Amino acid sequence: MMLTMETRIKQHNRWSRAVSAGMSRRGREGVASTAGHRRRVAAGVLAALSGVCLGVGAGVVPAAAAPAAPAVAAKAAVPPGLESFYSQKVEWYDCGATGGMEKSAEKTGFQCAKVTVPLDYSKPDGETIEIAMKKHVATGSTRLGSLFVNPGGPGGSGVEFLETTAETTFAGVQGSYDIIGFDPRGVGASTPITCTSDAETPAIAEAAPADAGAGGTSFEQRATATSAQIKQLESGCAANTKPAGLLDHVDTVSVARDLDVLRALSGDQQLNYAGFSYGTYLGTHYAELFPANTGRMVLDGAVDPSLTYNERRQRQAVGFERALRTYVDWCQAGQGCPLTDGTDAGVQQIGDLFNAANESPVPTSDPNRPVTGEEMKQVVLLFLYSPETAWGSINEALGQVINQNDASIFRTVLDQIAARPLVNMGAHHAVNCLDYRVEGDMAAWAEQSKELEKTAPRFGTSFEAGDLICQSWGHTGTQAPQALHAKGAAPILVVGTTGDPATPYEWAKALAGQLDSAQLLTWEGNGHAAYTNPGHGPCVTKAVDTYLLTGAMPKKGLTCHGQE
């Protein structure tokens, strides 16, 4: 899953509190096993989730120099047949700094609106859907128009992302830009993909084997369980989503077309854009479709569009294996590390712990709710999206299991995740599966799983069988992936993080090489993405802010190191 680090940092703050609570809970009465708490995602779905979601985090932004006025762009063309959508009147209204699209009686500096777009761009006279936007109004006297932002996912809310980043992550540019977050089609306050009701969710979670993704099961057993879960999820989405055709029209190309409508309705001749993780995939497609309309574009935590779905997931698995080794090095170099005897031994300890817990789940403060190794794996994966400042929580959780045979911290974090999902999972699968065609068959997927056992022995099962997921989902794409070049687009800044597990640095280098006008900015750091990652320093912030404010690219080949 590809989400911004800002979204994950919010989640991590809750997880950190959960870790503290979990450490003090031993010996006290356990959490009641209510239906809400029973809503743990079965292992197969957890594995499907971890293999595709990416995220980034907010850093300190220094004061920016006075921006230069942008060049006047030629009036952007309106695609034939879409004139009514590009000319509709937008009714902006005051809304709260938090709380989504809710109206506010006071001026808060935030405004909201919804606009109409075609469900199917090949049938502009057919059904329509709504797209929700939220804007943080520029605070300075020199205005550069709008800066659209996307947090990734797919399935993440741009409206929520704006609320947490406009005055923090984008502090250096919010004086000059109206910063606009939008919920992509299928998500949040836009016309949503609506799946199984809360009341039905516990039954679905418990209908599959608890060890569906466990290391002790065969690929065939895991595949059967995962397929059944995905088919049941799709059935709920199809029954509850209106219009029903939305499930077949949330592909990234359609979202990019929506984004061009939003650009025009905001009064901008060119799109200025900052996309993170999956948001880079969206931005790349926008630049390919509308090169003349592309303005200043930052693509941070890049996705390589030339990869198949399986290749993407396989390389993510390897990325997380590398990140685990980095974590073990960090752990053993500090205090309070529960792992011993060097990097290889420490990594093996973690793998052995996962396997043992799959065979015999580790008890928690609630005797009815032990934790499996697959569940532990998902928690560790999520913490590896973050920089070293979050890794102490892994120490605490692993240490409690190793030293006390108690997984209460893991259970508490899992409950936090279940209570506040990072993305709309129906939209998440719908977008991914429309963006990629299904390749291979069960025999090929079994071979790919065996390869993952070699290249990513700790995390391979979390990333296997992406094509099986989409085949089971049933709404799939037909186009083969390809390199995108965006010929004629203005200069694009691609940002890559050397220790990024979810969008490996190699993808940033590949995307920068594919796009005709791109330049690569490198950050030597850990965790997902750079500009939104709290581990970065002024070097990254200055390079990105200067580009957004003036159009000037950083020095070619610039590498920012850690917090410098």
Is-cis flag, bond preceding 154, omega within 30? yes
Mean pLDDT of the chain: 87
Q: How far is residue 120's CA from residue 117's CA, in Å, rounded to a whole number?
A: 9
User: What is the reported pLDDT for 74?
Assistant: 65
Question: Which tokens go with 15?
Answer: 């997880």
- If we measure between CA atoms, which residue out of 246, 49, 248, 263 comes closest to residue 153? 49
For the cut 70, the answer to whether the pLDDT of residue 175 exceeds it is yes
Comparison of pLDDT for 406 and 55, the residue scoring more:
406
DSSP string, 430-462: HHHHHHS-----HHHHHHHHHHHHHH-TTTGGG
User: What is the reported pLDDT for 190?
Assistant: 98
Q: What is the mean pLDDT of residues 234-247?
A: 96
User: What is the reported pLDDT for 384?
Assistant: 96
User: What is the reported pLDDT for 31?
Assistant: 28
Q: What is the mean pLDDT of residues 40-51?
A: 38
User: What is the reported pLDDT for 423?
Assistant: 80
For the cut 50, the answer to whether the pLDDT of residue 65 exceeds it is no
For the cut 90, the answer to whether the pLDDT of residue 13 exceeds it is no
Comparison of pLDDT for 199 and 125, the residue scoring more:
125
For the cut 90, the answer to whether the pLDDT of residue 346 exceeds it is yes
User: What is the reported pLDDT for 117?
Assistant: 98
For the cut 90, the answer to whether the pLDDT of residue 147 exceeds it is yes
User: What is the reported pLDDT for 417?
Assistant: 87
- If we measure between CA atoms, which residue out of 551, 539, 553, 555 comes closest to residue 144? 551
pLDDT band per the 50, 70, 90 thresholds, residue 41: very low
Task: State the DSSP H helix or E strand holding residue 206, giving kind and residue range, or none if neither.
Answer: helix 201-207
- Percent of the chain predicted with pLDDT > 90: 81
DSSP symbol at 490: P
User: What is the reported pLDDT for 419?
Assistant: 86
Q: How far is residue 148's CA from residue 146's CA, in Å, rounded to a whole number?
A: 6
Q: CB–CB of 6/532 below 8 Å? A: yes
- If we measure between CA atoms, which residue out of 73, 255, 272, 96 comes closest to residue 182? 255
For the cut 70, the answer to whether the pLDDT of residue 58 exceeds it is no
Query: Over the stretch 493-524, which tens digit does the pLDDT of each residue have?
Result: 999 999 999 999 999 999 999 999 999 999 99
pLDDT band per the 50, 70, 90 thresholds, residue 216: low
Lowest mean pLDDT among 69-78, 134-143, 205-214, 450-459: 205-214
- Return the top range by mean pLDDT from 38-52, 198-212, 223-237: 223-237
For the cut 60, the answer to whether the pLDDT of residue 203 exceeds it is no
DSSP helix/strand/coil, 177: coil
Comparison of pLDDT for 5 and 131, the residue scoring more:
131
For the cut 90, the answer to whether the pLDDT of residue 312 exceeds it is yes
User: What is the reported pLDDT for 424?
Assistant: 85
For the cut 80, the answer to whether the pLDDT of residue 16 exceeds it is no
Lowest mean pLDDT among 82-91, 216-225, 349-358: 216-225
Query: Over the stretch 278-303, which tens digit does the pLDDT of each residue have?
Result: 999 999 999 999 999 999 999 999 99
Query: Over the stretch 534-559, which tens digit does the pLDDT of each residue have?
Result: 999 999 999 999 999 999 999 999 99
Q: CB–CB of 209/225 below 8 Å? A: yes
DSSP symbol at 291: G
User: What is the reported pLDDT for 125?
Assistant: 97
